[in-house]
Amino acid sequence: MADRFRIMLAQLNPTVGDIEGNAAKAAAAWAQGRDAQADLVALPEMFITGYNTQDLVLKPAFHNAAIEAAQALAKQCADGPALAIGGPWVEAGRLYNAYLILKGGRIVSKVLKHHLPNETVFDEVRLYDAGPLGGPYAVGNTRIGSPICEDGWHEDVAETLEETGAEFLLIPNGSPYYRDKYDVRLNHMVARVVETGLPVIYLNMVGGQDDQVFDGATFGLNPGGELAFRMPVFDEAVQHVDLQRGEDGWRITPGEVVPQPDAWEQDYRAMVQSLRDYMGKTGFKKAVLGLSGGVDSALVAAIAVDAIGAENVRCVMLPSEYTSQGSLDDAEAVANALGVHYDFVPISKGRAAVTETLAPLFAGHDEDLTEENIQSRLRGLLLMAISNKFGEMLLTTGNKSEVAVGYATIYGDMNGGYNPIKDLYKTRVFETCRWRNANHRIWMNGPEGEVIRPSIIDKPPSAELREDQKDSDSLPDYPVLDAILDILVDQDGSVADCVAAGFDEVEARRVEHLIYISEYKRFQSAPGTRLTPRAFWLDRRYPIVNRWRNRS
């Protein structure tokens, strides 16, 4: 019986629907494993289809094509190590989330996911049938247990595998990022090690898919819970790990433990990676955004440059008579610091034309929010025209605070294809700008040093749609607003919870009201990077028509 088992771990970035491309990535990883004399090459959950597929996997033509691709991959990789890859599987008319073991030209074993997550971004009860609790599969003389993702978070699957002869656990995952998610995963895996006494290898994918970002950070734990290795966070990597058999069973040979970035860096990397992959996987090479001189658009510009390079980013200043000289100077300073293409497109003549056109209809009515929103919508129109003409994806720049309370103009500044800061509260926007000014990493395409000057970060936020306007005229100060939003949105709390935390009841009720009446805007908003477990989209699904209010 062999005393060493080598696994080539492929922490890779699939694309949903690119079955052929994903299979090619798997074959390339398998070839690396063959050259390294691996016994098994392992890829993450649902790798052949990409993940998260949502309802696409229900389409018979799609899941059948994925199964056929896995069978073809088995034949292509017949002469060498076994290959383990996630994908759909159909038995007796039932569709499963499966982990397929390929060896000798065919699929020799199948693991069917038992626990189907049905919360936050996951709807697997809608998509798949639950597989039975099963035993391990054999690769050579070694018996391996592979709980699939959520199955690794439940003790019954791992304990059943240990009781039926598994010698170690290899857990394939499609586990998307949210802030501090790694610690949650680690705690669950330590529990599996303690319960079973077996080594655990947690294999995760990387890359962006719509709002979700998969952050990798594949790791291994030895009996006792000791961290044996950790692979890079967010980066693709293919590397082997060895397990050695001793008197007490198998142990992972210790390897490199790649440092874990702090939460500020991980959030920023998630925003950069999600935008990079969203554009790359949808075919866009260039981006455009309105650069107002404010902090939000400055941060989005920096993210865009770090994601796709300054040569691929266009920033447009669209001033009105209410745009301050400070904003003009700040916008130009950001554009120069980042090295982007910068256009200056005043909207005064266009606004005058719209005002004149509407004058007969609006006669006898005072100017109000309508006229303010015309400015925002005119900017949205012009930016979409630029996007159409030059084939550049328009980026939206509203932060989570604004998205939550509807402090944004639908068909105006909400226009766009993607919003990397959609799940970042305003108070974190300020700090993220400071973090980017002070830090530079190899994965950033933008320049080192200060790219968002302090005057942008420190000035009172304003939409500049009327004379001397400040955000605080319409909203609580952002530290207060964000704290209330954290209770009402992120914690699913009530007005009473806000009051118990020391906030004014009238103010909390006003914020709650704004959240509910803005649902129709969010329903029509661009997708954006998910940074928390309560991001606006799949994590939080509310009716648009909603008269319920918390009166207690």
Distance, in Å, from the CA atom of 374 to the CA atom of 116, rounded to the nearest integer, reads 47
pLDDT digits (tens, 9 = 90+) for 81-115: 999 999 999 999 999 999 999 999 999 999 999 99
Kindly tell me if the per-residue pLDDT of 348 is higher than 70: yes
Would you list the domain boundaries of the chain? 4-253, 264-471+519-523
Cα dihedral value 510, 516, 520, 526, nearest 10: 80
Q: Looking at the annotation, which residues are catalytic?
A: 45, 113, 149
- What average pLDDT score do residues 512-524 get? 94
3-state DSSP percent of the chain in helix, strand and coil, to 5: 40, 20, 40
Cβ neighbours of residue 133 under 8 Å, at least 6 residues apart?
114, 156, 157, 160
Both tokens assigned to 387: 């996007």
**Could you give the angle at which helices 60-76 and 19-35 cross, rounded to 10 degrees?**
20
Kindly tell me if the per-residue pLDDT of 465 is higher than 80: no
Instruction: Output the pLDDT for position 469.
Output: 66
Kindly tell me if the per-residue pLDDT of 463 is higher than 70: no
pTM: 0.95
pLDDT digits (tens, 9 = 90+) for 202-238: 999 999 999 999 999 999 999 999 999 999 999 999 9
Is the CATH number of domain 264-471+519-523 3.40.1350.10?
no
Assigned fold of 4-253: Nitrilase/N-carbamoyl-D-aminoacid amidohydrolase (3.60.110)
